[in-house]
Protein backbone atom coordinates (compact mmCIF):
# COMPACT_ATOMS: atom_id res chain seq x y z
CA UNK A 1 0.00 0.00 0.00
CA UNK A 2 1.25 3.41 -0.81
CA UNK A 3 -0.30 6.40 0.88
CA UNK A 4 0.36 9.73 -0.73
CA UNK A 5 -0.60 12.87 1.04
CA UNK A 6 -1.73 15.26 -1.58
CA UNK A 7 -2.64 18.11 0.66
CA UNK A 8 -2.66 18.63 4.38
CA UNK A 9 -4.64 21.53 5.77
CA UNK A 10 -3.85 21.93 9.42
CA UNK A 11 -5.31 24.21 12.02
CA UNK A 12 -3.07 26.28 14.25
CA UNK A 13 -3.46 29.18 16.59
CA UNK A 14 -0.85 31.90 16.66
CA UNK A 15 0.51 33.55 19.77
CA UNK A 16 3.09 36.12 20.69
CA UNK A 17 6.37 34.83 22.06
CA UNK A 18 6.36 36.86 25.22
CA UNK A 19 7.25 36.37 28.86
CA UNK A 20 3.71 36.99 30.01
CA UNK A 21 0.15 36.32 28.92
CA UNK A 22 -1.37 39.70 29.54
CA UNK A 23 -0.36 43.22 28.76
CA UNK A 24 0.78 44.94 31.96
CA UNK A 25 -1.02 48.12 31.04
CA UNK A 26 -4.44 47.14 29.76
CA UNK A 27 -4.48 43.67 31.36
CA UNK A 28 -5.83 42.23 28.15
CA UNK A 29 -4.27 39.11 26.69
CA UNK A 30 -1.40 39.77 24.32
CA UNK A 31 -3.03 37.48 21.81
CA UNK A 32 -6.08 39.67 21.89
CA UNK A 33 -5.79 43.34 21.29
CA UNK A 34 -5.61 46.55 23.26
CA UNK A 35 -8.91 48.21 24.24
CA UNK A 36 -8.74 50.64 21.34
CA UNK A 37 -8.27 48.04 18.66
CA UNK A 38 -10.62 45.64 17.01
CA UNK A 39 -8.25 43.31 15.25
CA UNK A 40 -5.39 41.43 16.88
CA UNK A 41 -1.97 40.54 15.42
CA UNK A 42 -0.62 42.83 12.76
CA UNK A 43 -3.05 45.59 13.61
CA UNK A 44 -2.20 45.64 17.27
CA UNK A 45 1.43 44.56 17.61
CA UNK A 46 3.56 44.09 20.70
CA UNK A 47 6.72 46.00 21.44
CA UNK A 48 9.57 45.08 23.72
CA UNK A 49 11.60 47.43 25.85
CA UNK A 50 15.26 47.00 26.58
CA UNK A 51 14.24 46.03 30.09
CA UNK A 52 12.67 42.95 28.43
CA UNK A 53 9.10 43.94 29.35
CA UNK A 54 6.62 44.00 26.57
CA UNK A 55 3.27 45.67 26.00
CA UNK A 56 0.73 46.33 23.32
CA UNK A 57 2.35 49.01 21.23
CA UNK A 58 -0.70 51.26 21.49
CA UNK A 59 -0.73 50.89 25.25
CA UNK A 60 2.92 51.78 25.87
CA UNK A 61 2.79 54.68 23.43
CA UNK A 62 -0.18 56.08 25.24
CA UNK A 63 1.63 55.61 28.53
CA UNK A 64 4.74 57.31 27.31
CA UNK A 65 2.77 60.24 26.00
CA UNK A 66 1.16 60.74 29.37
CA UNK A 67 4.58 60.88 31.10
CA UNK A 68 5.82 64.45 31.19
CA UNK A 69 9.33 64.02 32.46
CA UNK A 70 10.89 60.63 32.27
CA UNK A 71 10.02 57.91 29.88
CA UNK A 72 9.92 54.91 32.16
CA UNK A 73 8.80 51.33 31.84
CA UNK A 74 5.60 51.07 33.88
CA UNK A 75 6.71 47.71 35.25
CA UNK A 76 10.26 48.29 36.44
CA UNK A 77 10.67 52.06 36.32
CA UNK A 78 13.78 51.81 34.22
CA UNK A 79 14.14 54.22 31.39
CA UNK A 80 12.05 52.98 28.49
CA UNK A 81 13.87 52.22 25.29
CA UNK A 82 12.38 50.27 22.43
CA UNK A 83 14.22 47.07 21.83
CA UNK A 84 14.39 46.69 18.09
CA UNK A 85 15.37 43.09 17.89
Partner 1 sequence: MNFDFKDVFPILHTSFSLPFKEVNDYKLIETVNSINQLKLAHTIQALVFHKVENYMRETVAPEFWFHFNLSNDVEGFSQFYKAIDLLHNYFTQFLYLMRNVNVLRERSRCTEAVYGEKNAVQVLKVIIRATLLSQLPSEHNKIIEHFYETGLKMNDGHFQEKVCEVCLKDSINCRCLNCFYETNRKMVDLELLEPLVGQVLTSLIYTHIENHISKTCKDNFDNSFINILEMWLDNFIINWLHKVYYCGQSSESQDYVTIFKRKLTNFLYETYTKMRINQLFNIIIEYPESLPALEDLGKCLPKTDLRPLLTKKLQKAMETRLLHPGVSTPDILTAYVASIRSMRVLDPSGLLLEMVTQPMHQYLRSREDTVRCVVGSLTEEGLNDLAEELVKGDAVHVDENGGSDEESENWENWMPDPVDIDRNKSSNVRRTSDIISMLVSVYGSKELFINEYRTLLADRLLSQFSCDTEKEIRYLELLKLRFGDSQLHYCEVMLKDIADSKRINHHIKQDTDYTEKNFSMSAMVLSAQFWPPFKDEKLELHNKIVSQMEAFTGAFETLKGNRTLSWKNHLGIVDLEIELPDRTLNLSVTPVHATILMYFQDKNEWELDSLSRVVHIPPTVLRKKIGFWQSHGLIEEVNLNVFCLMEERESNRANLNVDVVVEDYESESIMASTQDQREEELQTFWSYIIGMLMNLDSLPLERIHQMLKMFAFQGPTIECSIQELTQFLDRKVREHQLVFSGGLYKLPKGDM
23, 26, 40, 49: which one contacts partner 1 (CB under 8 A)? 40
Q: How far is the CB of 73 from partner 1 (least distance, A)?
A: 18
21 secondary structure, DSSP code = S
By the rule CB under 8 A, 69 interacts with partner 1? no
Binding status of residue 27 toward partner 1 by CB under 8 A: no
DSSP for 22-78, written as a single string? B-TTT--BTTS--TT-SS-GGGS-EEEBTTS-EEEHHHHHHHHHH-SS--B-TTT-S
Q: Which is nearer to partner 1, 21 or 77 (CB)?
A: 21
Which sign does the torsion angle of CA 24, 68, 62, 48 carry?
A: negative
Answer yes or no whether residue 17 interacts with partner 1 by CB under 8 A.
Answer: yes
Residues lying near partner 1 in the complex (CB under 8 A) are found at 1-18, 29, 31-32, 38-42, 46, 48, 85
Amino acid sequence: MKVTIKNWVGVATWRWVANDDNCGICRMPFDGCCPDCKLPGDDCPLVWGQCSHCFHMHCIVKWLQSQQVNQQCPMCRQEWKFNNK
